[in-house]
Amino acid sequence: MALLESEAKLIRKTWAPVQSSKDSWPRLFVIFFSKAPEAQKKFKSFESVPLSELPANKRLKAHAASVVTLLSGIIDFLDDPETMIEMIENMATRHHKRNIPISIFNALGESVIDFLKEMNPGKFDDEAVAAWTKLYSALVSVVKAEFEKLDNKK
Ligand code: HEM
């Protein structure tokens, strides 16, 4: 995956408001679970918590922090694709046993973009959407390849 420097810059710039606003992180999951209600069922500790109560749920807050922190780590390594791919493969390995269809990974990608639009009001233009779509599609390709590798080992 080769991101242009201009794309990497745009990704870092639009991610910055997310990193500096911890209180917003559960919102990503409210968007995600409204788009893909089946995803919420994978989280036993808050599978039946109503969406309106999720932002205050401490387990969801902790989970949102893990996901955002890993995404921040990936973004820190945009200029080192080898390490970045290794980070994504590790995440995929840990998710394989959870039986998450790739379609749900794609729904999370759409949610990340919707969330970024909210976090960068009026500033998340087509170019930003294209840069994030490129990064997230690359992430999904790595996850898919890792899942297939692990499926073949079964
Ligand atoms: C960009 C994609 C994703 C990232 C960066 C990510 C990151 C993480 C991290 C860092 C953890 C905690 C460590 C671990 O147990 O692996 C985790 C746990 C988990 N993730 Fe993801 N994840 C992603 C996609 C998904 C998707 C699409 C689902 C679908 C429902 C999902 C479901 C889960 C579940 C069920 C857990 C365990 C939660 C718990 O009970 O502690 N993840 N994820």
pLDDT in tens, the chain (154 residues): 678 999 999 999 999 999 999 999 999 999 999 999 999 999 999 999 999 999 999 999 999 999 999 999 999 999 999 999 999 999 999 999 999 999 999 999 999 999 999 999 999 999 999 999 999 999 999 999 999 999 998 6
Ligand 1 centroid distance, CA of 67 (Å)? 7
Ligand 1 centroid distance, CA of 119 (Å)? 22
Q: The domain containing residue 141 runs over which residues?
A: 5-152
Asked if 147 and 102 count as a contact pair (C-beta separation under 8 A), the reply is yes
> What's the number of domains the chain is made of?
1
- Where residue 138 sits, what CATH number does that domain have? 1.10.490.10
Decide: residue 64, CB within 10 A, 0-12 exposed, 13-18 middle, 19+ buried.
Answer: buried
The radius of gyration of the chain from alpha carbons, rounded to an integer in Å, stands at 15
Q: Is the entire prediction scored with pTM above 0.85?
A: yes
Asked if 32 and 107 count as a contact pair (C-beta separation under 8 A), the reply is yes
pLDDT at site 71 = 97
Ligand 1 centroid distance, CA of 45 (Å)? 13
Q: Which atom of ligand 1 is nearest to the CA of 109?
A: 1
pLDDT at site 77 = 95
Nearest residue by C-alpha to atom 12 in ligand 1: 66
pLDDT at site 2 = 79
Residues in the chain: 154
pLDDT digit string, tens, across residues 12-40: 999 999 999 999 999 999 999 999 999 99
